[in-house]
Amino acid sequence: MRKVLKSDQRPFEIKPQQESVWVCMCGLSKNQPFCDGSHKTTRDEENGKTYEYDAEGHRHEV
């Protein structure tokens, strides 16, 4: 699990697309709300632990 800090206070509209749109669910994308592939850094997170990531992408267990 990751602690995710969100600052927007309103929804983000995704208009109808001809191709799939991938919305970030890990909280690490630098292109929110869209996935930018940053979720790959979570692959070795251990179940049952909580992590936070700093601005440089360094992981810390909390």
Question: Residue 24 has what DSSP assignment?
Answer: P
Residue 2 as a binder of ligand FES (CB under 6 A): the answer is no
User: Is there binding between residue 57 and ligand FES (CB under 6 A)?
Assistant: no
Smallest separation, CB 57 to ligand FES (Å): 11
Using CB under 6 A as the binding rule, whether residue 28 contacts ligand FES is answered as yes
Shortest gap between Cβ of 26 and ligand FES (angstroms)? 3
SS3 content of the chain, % helix, strand, coil (to 5): 10, 15, 75
- The DSSP letter of residue 27 is S
